[in-house]
Structure formats: C-alpha cells, structure tokens
Amino acid sequence: MYVAKHFYPHIAIFIPFLIMLAGFNLPKLVSHQFKTKLVPLIFICAGAFVFIISVDEYFALYKNVYMTYKNGEYLKCSGKVENLVLITSDGHGVDEFDVDNVHFEVGNLICPGYQKIAAWGGMINEEGLDVEIVYINFNEMNYIMELKVLSKD
C-alpha cells in the first residue's frame, strides 16, 4: 500500500541555482577575450526566471494537490486496472492506465503522489489488478495519493 505522507521539493528545483552559479563563475572559467558582462548576466537572469517559475509551480502543487489531500478533499475510485501501457525497461516516460474510467499516469518524478513505474518495481505492473485509489484532480491530471492493490485478476 502506498500513502503520500510528505511533499518534498524535487531536486529539479535546484537546477536554476546551478544556472545562476554558472553565471557568477563564468568570467573565472573562460578566457580573457570572452569576459563580457552580458553572458554571465544572461545566465543569472535565466536562472532567476526558471527559479521563479519552478517555485510557483511547486507551491501550486503543494496547495492544490497535497494540502487538498491532507484536508480530506479527495476523490476515490476502485476497480480493475485497464488500458495499461507500460514504458520500456529503460524507465524514461510514464506508465498509463485507467481504473473505473479514470485515467492515471505515473512516472513523472517532479509531481506529487505515487510515481513509481512498473520498470522500477511499481505496484501497477499488469492489467486486471484490483485496486483502490485515492486521488486529487488538478490541471487535468489525476495525482495518486493512496494506492492499494486488493488482488490480481
């Protein structure tokens, strides 16, 4: 059984800091001919812009998905896993499936909730599994906050 207990920022939220850090250190790393103020400034501004967007997205997900779930305002469905589409074993992409005519995608590690694909040992690994799912619908996506496999077909 899976239950979403925490909502931590994904490591990707720190990428803008690396971009800004590169901007600050770029004059030290390149030749003297390339030391202009414009290129480091572009890196710093791009990093700041991406950071603002990332933080805004993080807080939107926190407020509208995780806190909605914690406040008990969630949806439930149960039934057999249908229309299961598993990604290849290299693990790039998302697994897709339906339960009780509700579509789910798992594998986007930046998103909250259950995201473990079958290729990485995830619980949804075959068609016909009988499951119960507690989920939040936000921005046309269904985020699995609780997942329980009841039985196999």
E strand map for the chain: 2-3, 75-85, 95-99, 102-106, 130-138, 141-151
pLDDT tens by residue, 75-131: 999 999 999 999 876 667 899 999 999 999 998 878 889 999 988 889 999 999 999
Portion of the chain with pLDDT greater than 90, in percent: 44
pLDDT confidence bin for 150, thresholds 50/70/90: very high
pTM: 0.79
Tokens 């699995």 belong to residue: 144
Full strand arrangement of the beta sheet holding 95-99 = 2-3, 141-151, 130-138, 75-85, 95-99, 102-106
Confidence (pLDDT) at 58: 85
